[in-house]
A = this chain, B = another copy of it.
Amino acid sequence: MEQVGYINPSANLDAVFSALADPTRRAILARLSTGEAAVQELAEPFSISQPAISKHLKVLERAGLVERDIDRQRRPARLCAQPMADAVAWLEEFRNFWSGSFDQLDILLEDLKTAEETPNE
């Protein structure tokens, strides 16, 4: 679904959610929230190779969640959290459903219905 050379908001949500669907990539983002880091530093806490970390970084870069400094030798990676805002904006549309507001509305409507059906005394 991703289109090259043209950022389609939906296609970017695909890439963002897909990038977030891996625990190592989420851990890398959490690590980068404390400051930029090179591949070697990122590989240390995980029992995976540097090439594997580089692969994860590429996925994160394609989603726009990470950028790397091409001018510096260690090519440190840096967090770009902005695409997360789009992901949250999409999820927020459903907030009434997960916060239970709609359930409470259902209960209220059910109560009103019962009250109407019950003959007045």
- Total identical chains: 2
Whole-angstrom distance between the Cβ of A52 and the nearest chain B Cβ? 15
Q: Which residue of B lies closest to A20 (CB)?
A: B17
Main secondary structure of the interface of A (DSSP, over half): helix
Of the listed residues A1, A11, A84, A90, the one surrounded by the most CB atoms of chain B closer than 10 A to its CB is A84
Q: Which residue of B lies closest to A65 (CB)?
A: B94
Q: Is A87 an interface residue (CB 8 A)?
A: yes
Instruction: Tell me the complex Cα distance, A91–B21, Å.
Output: 12
Q: Is A14 an interface residue (CB 8 A)?
A: yes
Taking Cβ atoms with an 8 Å cutoff, the residues of A that contact B are: 1, 10-11, 13-18, 20-23, 26, 29-30, 33, 79, 81-82, 84-85, 87-88, 90-94, 97-99
